[in-house]
Structure 1
Amino acid sequence: MSLRKAYLIIFLVLLVDQLSKIFVKTNFILGEEVEVFSWFKILFIENEGMAWGTKIPGTYGKLFLTLFRLVAVTGIGYWLWESVERKNGSNYLIVAIALILAGAFGNIIDSVFYGRIFNDSNAQLATLFSDKPYGAWFHGQVVDMFYFPIWHGVLPSWIPVWGGKDFTFFNAIFNVADMAISTGVGILIFFNKKAFHKTN
């Protein structure tokens, strides 16, 4: 696969990711939920950008996370270029790297820019290019919206750790960028031999 095709994948993922985030950000109040099906909801939340809403403590925690991501994306970008231009990597590998790179970059856009181009979403709809931004450069919140509470209930008491407790499967809330990263990692795991097989 050529770099041009890889870049097209990245562009399309970024386009869908950012359009969906901007739509939710400008049409939903923070915490607002719309039920599509009983097992699929659009639920607008924002987080610091780590998995499961984890935060790095301290004044510079968010800035450190954003800078780390920028370094990581640079490394992933080089991996993509090297896999195409030098190592003639398989289509599985190139698609996987392109998806991971697009997803990582999609969430970086939120972290770097959203604090300066949107106003607050608490109890109001955010405005794009607001004159009252909610944060500083590199301190934006990542927008998540896809929620699949496929099953909710109390687990049997005989199940270790979670037995007898209220439980929701699947309780993560994510975005298009997260899906791209997960899909790319999934390709590398489940198609490992094909992904790392060099083509002639």
Structure 2
Amino acid sequence: MAEIIEKSGLRWLWLAVIMVVLDQVTKYWTIQSLDLYESYRIFSFFNFTHARNYGAAFSFLGDAGGWQRYLFTAIAIVVSSYLVYLLKKNSSADRWINCAYALILAGALGNVMDRVMFGYVVDFLDFDLGFYRWPTFNVADIAIFIGAAMMIFESFFAKQEKPINQPKGNKNV
């Protein structure tokens, strides 16, 4: 088993563990330090604000009546399982994409832990630029965003395998 972990992308699970711990510690701090909707100003454009998200990104389906909790939990578990499969399949040398998968895995698990424990996701990072207020988010959301951005970057700049040269006379191959 140790050999599989060492040679595969599972070697990058340490990053997911660190991010899940960071996510859960910051959410615990938020719950312990701030009442619901209480806000603590850090800068004129940034606050710590204790918020609950019953939906998905940008509170999608947040007011759907409760069934969405189970849907989003199931989706996160399926996605997390698939990411672990991809990590196991990848070589440990594929650092960039393994890091991306580990970050997305961490974000999915961090938010699903909230859904299972509370029925909602704890958010607390609140940016208000005056002309635009970004929806409140958390460390798990940051991990998902960075991981997804890394995957997109990888898709544009990854070395493409060259196709095998086909014999010039055979067009049916």
- Give the TM interval when normalised to the shorter protein: 0.7 to 0.9
Q: Give the percent of matched residue pairs that are identical in Structure 1 and Structure 2.
A: 29
Deviations along 1:58-111, one digit per CA (max 9) or x if unpaired, are 553322221222122111211121123xxx662111100110011111101101
1:176 to 109, 120, 139: 139
- In structure 2, the residue matched to 1:6 is 12
How many residue pairs get matched? Answer: 154
Q: 1:101 aligned to 2:108?
A: no
Letter in 2 for 1:29: D
Q: Normalized against structure 2, the TM-score is what?
A: 0.79
- In structure 1, the residue matched to 2:4 is none
1:92 to 67, 90, 96: 96
Which has the greater radius of gyration? 2
Structure 1: tracts of 5 or more residues without a match: 116-139, 154-167
Structure 2: tracts of 5 or more residues without a match: 1-6, 162-173
Measure, in 2, the Cα distance between the counterparts of 1:3 and 1:192: 18
Measure, in 2, the Cα distance between the counterparts of 1:31 and 1:195: 43
Letter in 2 for 1:101: L
The range that moved more, 69-78 or 188-197, is 188-197
- In structure 2, the residue matched to 1:29 is 35
Deviations along 1:104-150, one digit per CA (max 9) or x if unpaired, are 1110110112x2xxxxxxxxxxxxxxxxxxxxxxxx1100011122x
Structure ranking higher in helix proportion: 2
Letter in 2 for 1:143: V
The alpha-carbon distance between structure 1 residues 103 and 111, as it changes in their structure 2 partners (threshold 3 A), is same
The alpha-carbon distance between structure 1 residues 82 and 37, as it changes in their structure 2 partners (threshold 3 A), is same
CA contact (8 A) 2:10 2:87 kept: no
